[in-house]
Structure 1
Amino acid sequence: MLSRRHVLQSMSSGFGYLAFAGIASKSDAADRRESAGPLSVRPTHFAPRAKRVLFLCMSGGPSHVDSFDYKPELQRNDGRAMFYPGARTSHGKLMASRWKFRQRGESGLWVSDLFPKIAEQADRLCLLRGMNTNVPAHPQAFLEMHTGTSQFVRPSVGAWTIYGLGTENENLPGFISLNPPSGNGGGQNYGSSFLPAAYQGTPIKIQRGVAKFPNIANPLIDPPTQRRQLDFVQSLNQSHLTAGGDDREVEGVLESYELAFRMQDTVPEVMSIDDETQATQTRYGLDRDETAGFGRQCLMARRFLEAGVRFVEVSHDGWDQHANLTTDHAMHAEAVDQPIAELLNDLDERGLLDDTLVLFGGEFGRTPVVQGVDGRDHNHKGYTMWMAGGGVKSGFSYGQTDEFGQEAIEGKMHTHDLHATILHLLGLDHERLTYSYAGRDFRLTDIHGRVAEAILA
């Protein structure tokens, strides 16, 4: 007969065994992930609705009450004094939108004349009108939009995506950022932080119509000689890795060198738009100075997505209108409106839109009250982003701000909820996509995040 002491000892040993088994299984899973190659395609947690992401990043904070969030009461109360306790601009007069809102398409979504071409795509859009974030300042909000936090250096959403899914083309980066802003966190917005370096984004600057890609080729050395040099360097790296055990930085170097060598032939071909017809280039607006810059980025983004790049971000800076909003918002909208609309059409015609999640928006919105004569201040409490394709409902509006557009009151989506929803659409459970670092498991959404089930198709 077993004594009570013996039973308790056995039970405590069992608990220890279970804990060890859990740790070991996590370690085995991580080993299997890395042994297959950091960029190899990986199974999802459940059936994905999207295979890739295109983020159209409007840096600076475009005004939701002038574009995608129709507020009739704002129009009727133009000039009325308002007080918003806790807001950056707490006192001010309401300023009606300078653009007329109209119901668009069969869905009847309200979109303003600020974006006439995107308005024609209304039946493809899923408007997220209850967005909100923590801080009404560009650096913090921009970093939070990209990494989930503004307080610590963390991996970007693109890096987490590649970590979770791998990439479909071993000769291209899994994550590309076109024209990323140099401020507001800079490289952190496409960085991998504590994730292996293989998951970080590759920035491509486009200046005066010329793409500036990181120098990966040596024109003075022929490919066979370069291959032999690389093999020698890799052998030294591998010796260091073998002698030192687990060294993720060296593993990142090994993978990045190999990827850079493979990219030398593939990247220039994908980046070149010379084989695109004149009609296609005209559709994207490359024949007009106002649209040529962003149009080139959008066309290049489509080529990267088509070639198997998993996450592509396209940036347009300059939406921070504390003054001259009527003139400057119109200028920036003209630059992106036609290229974005044609990008959606092109993706659909090529059969890519259904499994490509398109996301449009900035780090926050703008206030319904005027700043100065013709400006709006930052508003982080309520603003709009939109999605298209990739398993979300089309011609659909989710969430709502108050009668004037100051604060989200229904269908609220915090940045963490946005990230959780993006990962869910890609077939990834944001609570299970973790990485062990500094003694704890980290995830993109930290301890937060809820999937917006209502927008799923």
Structure 2
Amino acid sequence: MLNIFGGSQRCCDGQSRRDFLKIGTLGMGVGGFGLADLLRAEAAAGKSHSHKAVINIFLAGGPPHQDMWDIKTEAPSEIRGEFRPISTESPDVQICEVFPRLAGLMNRAAVVRSVVGCTGGHDGYMCMSGWNQNQLKNLGGHPSLGAATAKLRGPVDPAVPPFVGLAKPTRHRPWAHPGGAGFLGAAYSAFRPDGPGMDNMKLQGITLDRLQDRKQLLASLDTMRRDIDVTGAMAGMDAFGQQALDVLTSSKLLDALDLSKEDPKIVARYGDGKPYQFQYDGAPTCNDHLLLARRLIEAGVRVVSLSYGRWDSHSKNFDMVRDHGGKLDQCLSALIEDLEQRGMLDDVTIVVWGEFGRTPKINGNAGRDHWPQVSCAYLAGGGIRGGQAIGSTNRLGEHAEDRPVHMQEVLATLYHNLGIDVSTTTVVDPTGRPQFLVEHEPIRELI
């Protein structure tokens, strides 16, 4: 491995470190996402000629279902809250007044008002994988949607990782996690761009000529290692090492992450989500991350996960929803319209949800507390049948009364829209046993 060091910097977590670029690993994901490993996966799986994709928008902290897509107008005041429902493009669906732009796009989307299966953990594990994080824990746990897709489909383009996680660091660290690789191993972890100006993806003070010289040195060292390798594990590394180096000289991924290359009018449509309010230990409302997600998919990424806002509203719930909801309304509607105008909407599925819902009764601090009994989700694109609300809760929003939808059904729908059949597709765990991606079927009303 070769490290190319740049200048010292202080990161958002307060630690001082040097920007670096690891030739052949590029620091992708936990434990390093080896580019050579990524390219090996592509060779094994075969490069896909279609490009279905998913944008998984995690509302970390638990969004209040009864203040978003399931307004309870007939509930008493201590439960009903401050918001009124508004009509949408679909005459059968009403949503919260803070989403006027999304109301005009309802025929492209669907809301699920009866999501069940939440474990109550303050993390995105189930939204990323569909599984309880204690299941198969001794093997590393189940892989997330992004990791499984990277394994099964490989990259669209060798210079672009199939799975990217966009999230600013959070003090409650699980809220910024894009979903793990589980028992598949670190090679299928999300690529997580970080560092000011994407410095960790640039050749810091090194020319391509010098890179070629170091490439020759690496080749010599690898030859030496291969000569003493009696297991044969080094066989075939040359081709993948060459392709990994090719990634370093490609600007495709870096360009996708550079919003200065985007039309300023489009950037303005998404907004920046500032000023950041109610952030505390969670994620900021980075509206531009939704635009980055679209650019990454255009570049060849298959799954983008991101954490948007901090929805753990134990106090000032209604102020938080006005702030976060209004900003989400702007950037999410811009994303849907942007994808539609580019002819991408039928190929890209968007899901917006959190780890659980909020208590029906408003507490003494004008907040709502944790409520894993029921939650909600918003889906758009991917060819789904839009213009509908699926499931319902009882009059007080306490539990799913009609058509409970398990969290795994949402994940199964995302897999289906990626062209992966969850009823037949398995991935092999370290013991050699095939494991299904999820145990539920896709949401029948949507496909």
Aligned to 1:310: 302
Aligned to 2:380: 388
Please list the CA deviations of residues 295-341 of structure 1 after superposition, one character each: whole Å capped at 9, or x if unmatched.
Answer: 32122111111122111123213100011111122222233220111
CA distance, structure 2, for counterparts of residue 245 and residue 226 of structure 1: 28
CA distance, structure 2, for counterparts of residue 162 and residue 368 of structure 1: 39
CA distance, structure 2, for counterparts of residue 415 and residue 53 of structure 1: 16
Aligned to 1:163: 151
Within the alignment, does 1:41 sit opposite 2:39 as a pair?
no
Within the alignment, does 1:454 sit opposite 2:445 as a pair?
yes
CA distance, structure 2, for counterparts of residue 418 and residue 256 of structure 1: 36
Corresponding residue to 1:340 among 332, 356, 378: 332
Aligned to 1:175: 163
Aligned to 1:261: 248
CA distance, structure 2, for counterparts of residue 424 and residue 259 of structure 1: 32
TM-score of the superposition, structure 2-length normalised?
0.78
Asked if the contact 1:174–1:310 (Cα under 8 Å) also holds between the matched residues in 2, the reply is yes
Kindly state the Cα deviation for residue 394 of structure 1 after the two structures are TM-superposed: 0.8
Moved more, 379-388 or 103-112: 103-112
CA distance, structure 1, for counterparts of residue 417 and residue 212 of structure 2: 39
Aligned to 1:327: 319
**Runs of at least 5 residues in structure 2 that lack an aligned partner in the other structure:** 1-38, 278-283
CA distance, structure 2, for counterparts of residue 286 and residue 188 of structure 1: 21
What is the 5 A alignment of 1:124-273?
124-139=108-123, 142-147=124-129, 148-151=131-134, 152=137, 153-154=140-141, 155-179=143-167, 182=170, 183=172, 185=174, 189-205=178-194, 213=198, 215-230=200-215, 232-233=217-218, 236=221, 239=225, 243-245=230-232, 257-258=244-245, 261-263=248-250, 265-273=251-259
CA distance, structure 2, for counterparts of residue 342 and residue 260 of structure 1: 31
Asked if the contact 2:72–2:396 (Cα under 8 Å) also holds between the matched residues in 1, the reply is yes
Kindly state the Cα deviation for residue 137 of structure 1 after the two structures are TM-superposed: 2.8
Letter in 2 for 1:146: M
CA distance, structure 2, for counterparts of residue 366 and residue 247 of structure 1: 53
Query: Cα gap change, 1:308/1:417 in structure 2, threshold over 3 Å: closer, same or farther?
Result: same
Query: Cα gap change, 1:419/1:254 in structure 2, threshold over 3 Å: closer, same or farther?
Result: farther
Query: Cα gap change, 1:230/1:180 in structure 2, threshold over 3 Å: closer, same or farther?
Result: farther
SS of residue in 2 equivalent to 1:281? helix
Within the alignment, does 1:104 sit opposite 2:103 as a pair?
no
Asked if the contact 2:412–2:440 (Cα under 8 Å) also holds between the matched residues in 1, the reply is yes
Please list the CA deviations of residues 224-258 of structure 1 after superposition, one character each: whole Å capped at 9, or x if unmatched.
Answer: 3324424643675685596434699x99x959954
Aligned to 2:281: none
Query: Cα gap change, 1:286/1:377 in structure 2, threshold over 3 Å: closer, same or farther?
Result: closer
Letter in 2 for 1:280: I
Asked if the contact 2:164–2:303 (Cα under 8 Å) also holds between the matched residues in 1, the reply is yes
Note the aligned Cα RMSD (angstroms). 3.2
Moved more, 378-387 or 405-414: 405-414
Kindly state the Cα deviation for residue 371 of structure 1 after the two structures are TM-superposed: 2.3
CA distance, structure 2, for counterparts of residue 236 and residue 186 of structure 1: 41
Query: Cα gap change, 1:234/1:337 in structure 2, threshold over 3 Å: closer, same or farther?
Result: farther
Query: Cα gap change, 1:325/1:302 in structure 2, threshold over 3 Å: closer, same or farther?
Result: same
Query: Cα gap change, 1:270/1:455 in structure 2, threshold over 3 Å: closer, same or farther?
Result: same
SS of residue in 1 equivalent to 2:332? helix
**Runs of at least 5 residues in structure 1 that lack an aligned partner in the other structure:** 1-32, 80-94
CA distance, structure 2, for counterparts of residue 245 and residue 409 of structure 1: 59
What is the 5 A alignment of 1:364-443?
364-443=356-435
Asked if the contact 2:427–2:437 (Cα under 8 Å) also holds between the matched residues in 1, the reply is no
Kindly state the Cα deviation for residue 279 of structure 1 after the two structures are TM-superposed: 1.9
CA distance, structure 1, for counterparts of residue 128 and residue 370 of structure 2: 18
Higher helix share: 1
CA distance, structure 2, for counterparts of residue 247 and residue 78 of structure 1: 68
Asked if the contact 1:71–1:403 (Cα under 8 Å) also holds between the matched residues in 2, the reply is yes
Aligned to 2:102: 118
Asked if the contact 2:269–2:334 (Cα under 8 Å) also holds between the matched residues in 1, the reply is yes
Letter in 2 for 1:453: R
CA distance, structure 2, for counterparts of residue 316 and residue 289 of structure 1: 14
Letter in 2 for 1:283: R
CA distance, structure 1, for counterparts of residue 275 and residue 365 of structure 2: 29
CA distance, structure 2, for counterparts of residue 205 and residue 257 of structure 1: 19
Letter in 2 for 1:102: I
What is the 5 A alignment of 1:26-105?
37=43, 40-42=46-48, 51-74=52-75, 77-79=76-78, 95-105=79-89
Asked if the contact 1:138–1:184 (Cα under 8 Å) also holds between the matched residues in 2, the reply is no
SS of residue in 1 equivalent to 2:428? strand
Kindly state the Cα deviation for residue 401 of structure 1 after the two structures are TM-superposed: 1.7
Asked if the contact 1:39–1:170 (Cα under 8 Å) also holds between the matched residues in 2, the reply is no
Asked if the contact 1:40–1:167 (Cα under 8 Å) also holds between the matched residues in 2, the reply is no
Moved more, 178-187 or 152-161: 178-187
Letter in 2 for 1:101: P
CA distance, structure 2, for counterparts of residue 258 and residue 197 of structure 1: 20
Asked if the contact 1:368–1:405 (Cα under 8 Å) also holds between the matched residues in 2, the reply is yes
CA distance, structure 2, for counterparts of residue 247 and residue 366 of structure 1: 53
Query: Cα gap change, 1:233/1:129 in structure 2, threshold over 3 Å: closer, same or farther?
Result: farther
Asked if the contact 1:400–1:410 (Cα under 8 Å) also holds between the matched residues in 2, the reply is yes
SS of residue in 2 equivalent to 1:333? helix
Aligned to 2:13: none
Please list the CA deviations of residues 182-228 of structure 1 after superposition, one character each: whole Å capped at 9, or x if unmatched.
Answer: 4454786433233254422111348xxx65x4713332321233244
CA distance, structure 2, for counterparts of residue 295 and residue 36 of structure 1: 32
SS of residue in 1 equivalent to 2:184? coil
Asked if the contact 1:401–1:410 (Cα under 8 Å) also holds between the matched residues in 2, the reply is yes
Query: Cα gap change, 1:187/1:318 in structure 2, threshold over 3 Å: closer, same or farther?
Result: closer
Kindly state the Cα deviation for residue 144 of structure 1 after the two structures are TM-superposed: 2.1
Identical pairs, percent: 24
